[in-house]
Amino acid sequence: MIRVQDLTKYYGERLAVDNISFNVEKGEIVGFLGPNAAGKTTTMRIITGFLMPTRGDVWVADCNMMTNSLDGRRFIGYLPEAIPLYTDMTTRDYLEFSAKLRGLAKQRIKTRIDDVVDICRLEEYIDVILGKLSKGFRQRVGIAQAIIHEPEVLILDEPTIGIDPIQVTMTRNLIKELGKECTVLLSTHILPEVSMICERVIIIHEGRIVAEDRIENLSSILSGSKRILLEIQGPPKKIARRLEQIEGVQQVRVEDSNYIVEYPPEQDPRPKIMEAIVQGGWSLLSMGSVEMSLEDIFLELTTEEEEEEEVDE
């Protein structure tokens, strides 16, 4: 449904997207994961026809977006990162305008506005001026606008950023629901979000794809080791040495009286750690799991890649 090939984009001298290629098949929900300034927005803007690439090609529903952008755009519903709202319009006027721009017939516009208002739960705000809506509702209007023409491809740039947790959950469920009808490519920098919504993930870092796989496969790579954070009172060097000796512990990092312990998921050393602490006569103040942060993952993925490259040479 979406085919990106050898895509490169320079902004002046700055390289934003570096020769990336990927496909999104019909009906898939694909997450585009990366930290800020990784090139996610640029890539999405090129796919939607808002920007032209420096090199490379993009096809959406078999339309080449470089040469036949106008036809390609008909298949796409797009929610940009900055929600594109005319602040002086009411929700209804805005949806009507969006529908007209997408070439919907007059009769269909009416029914589609009712549909998307229902889907995005905007009933109470249908005649409110958009400038007066809160961020969460703006987001919903933005999604309503993107789906009004029942697009086959939905492109959502950071759809859950800056809204409260309840609305985030609602938006995620909405996206999953929409994903049953159409192909979805969404970007995010929130790691758990990807595993919640997406079937497949493309990880992008500094303009390059560093990993691309189904969630199941990737999560095993990503959670190659688990981490716990321990706060222990006692002599640090002695404790660290003792912890390292425990079976299953891969690595111990010490920061003041905090210890970060890494271990493989299939071999849980926590009971043994407890025993060791009690035996040593130290006191355990707290124990908790540490989520791998996005930065850690990139570090892991990018350094692994470099190691491989070195081996190749």
Partner 1 sequence: MKNTGTIALKEIKSYLTSPMAYIVTGIFLVLTGTFFTTYLAGTAYSDTSIRGFVESSQLLLLLFAAILTMRLIAEERKLGTWELLLTAPVRDTEVVLGKFLGSLAVLVTMLVLTLYYPILLEGLGDPDWGPIGTSYLGLFLLGSTALAVGIFASSLTSNQIVAAVIAGGILAALWLVGMAGGTAPEALGEVLSYLSLSYHFNDFIRGVVDTRAIIYYLSVTALFLYLAIRSLETSRWG
Q: Is 91 in the site for partner 1 (CB under 8 A)?
A: no
Amino acid at residue number 32: F
Stretch that binds partner 1, among 90-98, 202-210, 214-222, 300-308 (CB under 8 A): 90-98
How many Å apart are CA 200 and CA 214, to the nearest integer? 4
Question: Judged by CB under 8 A, which stretch of 17-25, 100-108, 113-121, 209-217 contacts partner 1?
Answer: 100-108
Between CA 121 and CA 154 the distance in angstroms is 19
| 40 is a site residue for partner 1 (CB under 8 A) | no
Identity of the residue, 131 or 235, whose beta carbon is nearer to partner 1 in the bound complex? 131
Structure tokens at 205: 């870092």
102 makes contact with partner 1 (CB under 8 A): yes
76 binds partner 1 (CB under 8 A): yes
> Which one of residues 98, 139, 160, 187 is an interface residue with partner 1 (CB under 8 A)?
98
Whose tokens are 């469920």? That residue is 173
Closest CA to 188 of 17, 34, 2: 34
Rounded to 10 deg, the angle between the 165-179 and 135-147 helix axes is 10
By C-beta, is 9 or 205 nearer to partner 1?
A: 9
Q: If binding is defined by CB under 8 A, does position 245 make contact with partner 1?
A: no
Report the alpha-carbon distance of residue 242 to residue 199 in Å, rounded: 41
27 forms part of the interface with partner 1 (CB under 8 A): no
Which is it for the CA torsion 130, 135, 140, 146, positive or negative?
positive
Nearer to partner 1, 10 or 282 (CB): 10
Query: CA 30, 2, 192 angle in degrees (round to 5)?
Result: 10
Applying CB under 8 A, the site for partner 1 has a residue count of: 29
43 binds partner 1 (CB under 8 A): no
Q: Which of 87, 111, 245, 267 binds partner 1 (CB under 8 A)?
A: 87
Q: Does 49 bind partner 1 (CB under 8 A)?
A: yes
**6, 88, 164, 181: which one binds partner 1 (CB under 8 A):** 88
Q: To the nearest whole angstrom, how small is the minimum distance from the Cβ of residue 280 to partner 1?
A: 59
The residue from 36, 70, 166, 312 that contacts partner 1 (CB under 8 A) is 70
Across the beta sheet with 2-11, the strand order is 14-24, 2-11, 55-60, 63-64
DSSP letter for each residue of 191-249: HHHHHHH-SEEEEEETTEEEEEEEHHHHHHHHTSSEEEEEEEES-HHHHHHHHHHSTT-
Minimum distance from CB of 225 to partner 1 (Å)?
A: 41
Q: In this chain, which stretch among 72-80, 159-167, 253-261, 293-301 interacts with partner 1, using CB under 8 A?
A: 72-80
Q: Does 100 bind partner 1 (CB under 8 A)?
A: yes
Alpha-carbon distances, residue 132 vs 61, 136, 138, 260, 308 (angstroms): 37, 12, 9, 47, 53
Residue number with CB closer to partner 1 (70 or 311): 70
